[in-house]
Copies of this chain bind each other. A is one copy, B any other.
Amino acid sequence: MVIVGAGFAGLRAVKRLSDADAEVLLIDRYNYHTFIPMLYQVATGFIEPELIAYPIRKALRNIFNADFLMAEVEQINPDNKTITADGRTMTYDYLVLSSGSQANFLGVSGAPQFTFPLRTLDNAIVLRNHILSCFEQAVKNLENSSLQEQLLTFVIVGGGPTGVEMAGALQELIYDCLVKDYPQLDLERAKVILLQSGSDLLASYPKHLQKYTVRTLRDRGVKVHFNNRVKETSSTEVVLEDETRITTATIIWTAGVEASLPKPQAEVSTASKNKVEVQDTLQLPKYPHVYAVGDVAYVEQDGKPLVGIAPEALQQGGMVAENLQRQLKGKSPKAFNYFNKGRAAIIARNAGVILLLGKIPLGGFLGWLMWLGIHLYYLPGLSNRFKVLGAWLKDYLRRDRSVRQVYTMISADSRTQLK
């Protein structure tokens, strides 16, 4: 059987299939599993990128029925039961699609070329380099006031968890840490702007936590704007629908995601965000040998679609492993039922929000501490946990971040060429 994508769902499925009577091939375009919830910490210099990127081959060392292939899956053909990766076609008996999601630029002109998404480790490193480069460029152009403004204005599009976390962490990076590195700069002029098209941040949280989030961000100095869509972006500005123009060199795109699906050579019905429609067993309606899990699948619970967070993907990964084992033994697959452990977002130092078990709201210091604990617990790799804890303590106690190096090698990326 073949599993496409080594994210939360895919990797969990492989592990739970370790005692199955089947050969498992895991395919991913990267050779590491990315701990996506902490990408914003790489982008803002908290931690070295390697700490949230666990080598897949290391994860599979003791799983003797699993093999890994680093390749890009180009096509799947569920009628022939074949899959094509890096130009090579293989057959499978069972297929699990767990290829996750990617940025969706929602048709905004200029967004694919000029904004920074934050979905992969590469995205996070590119963004980190870009942010730090903006400060180096600003120091070189002390006398050019308009260029200063452009370089020191950071716009984040999207008020979901990633947008909120990025805004808070970036504000702290500038005012806790970079302010010590750039005494020449007037950082009163630096601005972190969070743009939300609707009227609330963190849409799926209770009202009072939403309000707490806005208040906290504004208290810390983030400018939060509501009820205005981005119409257009370029390398120098964001244009909103009401024709407001914001001069900036950095537009961070967290506004939309969609399923990242290899091209199917068959009719596969999709729901919103290009997600694959599945039965309650996570099987594709017409193809009982194909499963879709995680961000790539459209799954409802209690009449509402799942929101696309790690616990959902992990539980689906476990379920698909169980169902595959049942199918191998001639039993019929069981329906997936999401157990809502809860969700969490961090806003800034000492401030987080949590919705425990999907219903118990917690904000403030306790929410913040629990966010840290949960993420430390789920982060793969014991030594990585220690290193991350060390980095957090350093930031908390000394208001200093570990990583501020600009790697020049990736300046080939057109978005990082500031000069």
Residues of B within 8 A of A304 (CB): none
Q: Tell yes or no: A320 within 8 A of B by CB.
A: no
**B132 touching A407, Cβ below 8 Å:** no
Q: How far is the CB of A121 from chain B (nearest CB, A)?
A: 7
**B181 touching A57, Cβ below 8 Å:** yes
Q: How far is the CB of A102 from chain B (nearest CB, A)?
A: 14
Q: Tell yes or no: A410 within 8 A of B by CB.
A: yes
Known: A50-B48, A139-B69, A390-B383. A122 touches B58 (CB 8 A): no
Q: Please, which residue of chain B has its CB at the minimum distance from the CB of A67? A: B184
Residues of B within 8 A of A199 (CB): none
**A58 touching B181, Cβ below 8 Å:** yes
Q: How far is the CB of A23 from chain B (nearest CB, A)?
A: 12
**A409 touching B125, Cβ below 8 Å:** yes
Q: Tell yes or no: A227 within 8 A of B by CB.
A: no
Q: Mark A46-86, 1 if CB is under 8 A from B, else 0.
A: 00111101010110010000010111000000000000001
Known: A407-B121, A409-B413. A402 touches B50 (CB 8 A): yes
Q: Which of A10-18, A24-32, A203-211, A345-353 contacts B (4 or more CB under 8 A)?
A: A24-32
Q: Tell yes or no: A140 within 8 A of B by CB.
A: yes
Known: A48-B50, A125-B407. A69 touches B402 (CB 8 A): no
Q: Please, which residue of chain B has its CB at the minimum distance from the CB of A87? A: B419
Residues of B within 8 A of A57 (CB): 181-182, 404
Question: A387 to B387, alpha carbons, bound, how many Å?
Answer: 8
Q: Tell yes or no: A263 within 8 A of B by CB.
A: no
Residues of B within 8 A of A70 (CB): 136, 139-140, 406
Question: A402 to B32, alpha carbons, bound, how many Å?
Answer: 12
User: Which A94-146 residues have C-beta < 8 A from chain B?
Assistant: 121-122, 125-126, 132, 136, 139-140
Question: A80 to B136, alpha carbons, bound, how many Å?
Answer: 27
**B31 touching A403, Cβ below 8 Å:** no
Q: How far is the CB of A175 from chain B (nearest CB, A)?
A: 16
Q: Tell yes or no: A326 within 8 A of B by CB.
A: no
**A122 touching B69, Cβ below 8 Å:** no
Q: Tell yes or no: A394 within 8 A of B by CB.
A: yes
Question: A412 to B412, alpha carbons, bound, how many Å?
Answer: 8
**B404 touching A61, Cβ below 8 Å:** no
Q: Tell yes or no: A272 within 8 A of B by CB.
A: no
Residues of B within 8 A of A121 (CB): 405, 407
26 CB contacts below 8 A, A to B, read A30-B405, A30-B406, A30-B408, A31-B404, A32-B405, A48-B48, A48-B49, A48-B50, A50-B403, A50-B405, A55-B405, A57-B181, A57-B404, A58-B400, A58-B404, A61-B181, A67-B184, A71-B140, A88-B140, A121-B405, A121-B407, A122-B407, A125-B409, A387-B390, A409-B410, A412-B412
- 19 more A-B contacts (CB under 8 A) besides A49-B407, A70-B406, A383-B402? A31-B132, A31-B405, A32-B404, A32-B406, A50-B403, A57-B182, A61-B180, A61-B181, A67-B184, A69-B139, A71-B140, A86-B419, A121-B405, A121-B407, A122-B409, A125-B409, A126-B409, A387-B387, A412-B412
